[in-house]
Amino acid sequence: MVTVCTFNRAQLLNRDDVFDVVIHALRGTAELKGWRVGRYVVMPDHVHFFCSPVAEEHGLSGFVRDFKSLSTNRYWKLGFAGKLWQTEFFDHLLRSGESYQSKWEYVRLNPVRHGLCASPEEWKYAGEIEQFGT
């Protein structure tokens, strides 16, 4: 599971056009870099997504770096300027005793915990790119 935060935690991602940029960049980078991306939740100031490598030659740092670069370039094409993402990112390796489903339940409830919606089904900035890990 990966979490990437916006620069200075600016609330930039809960717009349909920016959301589309983020998801298209995530999908495109995954295909290009040999990664699979499963479920995701895009919050106003960060994005959570589950991913796994297709092959070992493409590291997580490079995948996330290229995702940030592509999404930032597309963000600028919308007319925005400046940094979109913080330099670092956070990752959590799911170990054998941890369930993808239980971590997903925690992540998908994030908009509810932040008071953005009453139920996770109401949050339109969540979904799944590729089904895996269930």
CA distances from 119 to 22, 62, 72, 115, 129 (A): 23, 34, 30, 10, 21
Q: Which residues of the chain have pLDDT under 50?
A: none
Output the pLDDT for position 61: 94
Range 2-128: architecture per CATH: 2-Layer Sandwich (3.30)
Whole-prediction pTM: 0.92
Output the pLDDT for position 114: 96
Output the pLDDT for position 121: 96
Output the pLDDT for position 93: 85
Output the pLDDT for position 133: 60
Q: Where are the domains of the chain?
A: 2-128
Task: Write the CB contacts of 21 (distance below 8 Å, at least 6 apart in sequence).
Answer: 71, 74, 75, 78
